[in-house]
Amino acid sequence: MERTLILIKPDALQRGLVGRVMSYLEDKGLTLVGNKMMQLDDSLLHEHYAHLVDKPFFKGIADFMKSTPVIVQCWEGQECVEVVRKLCGVTNAREAASGTIRGDLGMSVQSNLIHASDSLETAKVEVPRFFKDDELFSYDKKNYEYIYAPDEK
Ligand code: UDP
Ligand code: MG
């Protein structure tokens, strides 16, 4: 099964929406396999947002992402990476579809509640960027037979 990395961003912590954000993923039927709180620093943010470091708004993103600790989670499921991206909605929360985390809960491009790996290739880099092997867990979810058909597990 695929695994993906998410960060629940400082705006969700400040607004008391951590549980709401997690609920979209839990309700969908995904499995939480890693969970912790971290204070991000410039070094990690430069690595994580390497595709944005040359943008004029990078300092704003870095200051925002350092403004409180973040929740770091790894989730597992069939086609989990794409499923979670769809649940997040597009980057600009004002344009994100209703029913998505950003579309339902946000109004900002920057303060858009959640980061999620954008491809399986990215997830394979981002999960070990934030989690050591012994911080990730594998376990049987007893409700899998109701979440997936037998040939989908
Ligand atoms: N971001 C921003 N302004 C922009 C583009 C991105 O503040 O014009 C922030 C926003 O928080 C976004 C993050 O930088 O979630 C990473 O940008 P990316 O393009 O990777 O969007 P995502 O994959 O998070 O949808
Ligand atoms: Mg991205």
CATH number at residue 57: 3.30.70.141
Query: Distance between terminal CA atoms of the chain?
Result: 8
pLDDT at 11: 98
CB of 115 shorter than 6 A to ligand 1:
yes
Half-sphere exposure of 83 (CA within 13 A, CB side): 18
Give the residue among 68, 101, 83, 70 at the shortest CA–CA distance from 31: 83
| Residue 134 belongs to domain spanning | 2-152
pTM confidence score: 0.97
Ligand 1 centroid, distance to 109 Cα (angstroms) = 7
Burial zone of 95 (CB within 10 Å; 0-12 exposed, 13-18 middle, 19+ buried): exposed
Q: Which of 91, 105, 110 to mutate to test the pocket of ligand 1 (most atoms within 8 A of CB)?
A: 91
What pLDDT, on the 0 to 100 scale, is given for residue 153? 79
CB 117 within 8 A of CB 5: yes
Phi, psi of 36 (to 5 degrees): -160, 170
Spatial separation of the C-alpha atoms in residues 25 and 14, rounded to whole Å? 20
What is the set of active-site residues? 115
Mean pLDDT per 10-residue interval, the chain, length 153 residues: 98 98 98 98 98 97 98 98 98 98 98 98 98 97 91 87
What's the confidence (pLDDT) of residue 122? 98
> Measured from the CA of 118, which atom of ligand 1 is nearest?
23
Nearest CA to ligand 1 atom 2: 110
Token digits of residue 98: 């209703």
> DSSP class of residue 152?
G
CA of 24 to the centre of ligand 1 (A): 20
DSSP 24-64: HHHHHT-EEEEEEEE---HHHHHHHTGGGTTSTTHHHHHHH
pLDDT at 76: 98
78 lines ligand 1 (CB under 6 A): no
- As for how many domains the chain has, the answer is 1
Quick check: CB of 57 below 6 Å from ligand 1? yes
- Cβ of 109 below 6 Å from ligand 1: yes
Element (H, E) at 15: helix 10-15
138 C-alpha to center of ligand 2: Å?
Answer: 26
